[in-house]
Amino acid sequence: MTVAARHPTLVDRLWPAGTREFARMAMLAVAGSILLWASAKVQVPMWPVPMTMQSGVVLFLGFAYGARLGAATIALYLLEGAFGLPVFAGTPEKGIGLAYMLGTTGGFLAGFLVAATVLGWLAERGWGRTLAGTAAAMAIGSVVLHAPGVAWLATFVGVEKAIALGLTPFIAGAVVKAALATALVAAAQRTRGA
């Protein structure tokens, strides 16, 4: 059995690794966590529920950063929230820290980590070589992101209600964010001939 060759990610092409790889990765992880923080606070009016841009940023970061750096960035973001920084949507109004993370949205936060890892793995396997491959990866990432969220929410309210409250109202927004993340990756690749 052969191991598939690792394709360079978008970040690898735009900012190639050098002698200070740890510093590069640390700066990218911090920048990504700040972008996630900001995206959690942006409310976009949409029917039937307003949306934040947070899951779109998760999709983009996972795909652009690759599995390891994408996962590390999301883990840093989750750690910031666990220590009580108001980085999540609805914080500090709806609580902070571990209490917030173990509430009804905790599964979606876990889904961020899984989705970024899966998307990074797909990017490293060359799914970003075509627009169709990138779009398919974003669709997979969106499903992977939402699955733990709905499953966790079901432990609080039951399966039917979890689907009605935690999935159905967010489908249109998920499609829009996956499309935006796809377009952003495609635009970034064109800027450097990636």
146-171 residue pLDDT tens: 999 999 999 999 999 999 999 999 89
The answer as to whether 94 is a domain residue is: yes
Domain count across the chain: 1
What is the CATH classification number for the domain harbouring 113? 1.10.1760.20
The answer as to whether 85 is a domain residue is: yes
Write down the pLDDT at residue 1.
46
Question: Which residues pair with residue 51 across a beta bridge?
Answer: 44
The answer as to whether 74 is a domain residue is: yes
The answer as to whether 1 is a domain residue is: no
The answer as to whether 5 is a domain residue is: no
Instruction: Report the C-alpha gap between 59 and 45 in whole angstroms.
Output: 20
Write down the pLDDT at residue 47.
65
Note the pTM of the prediction, 2 decimals.
0.90
Q: Which domain range does residue 30 map to?
A: 15-42+49-191
Average pLDDT over residues 18-43: 93
Strands (E), the chain: none
The answer as to whether 152 is a domain residue is: yes
With residue 122 as reference, give the H or E element that holds it.
helix 106-124
The answer as to whether 102 is a domain residue is: yes
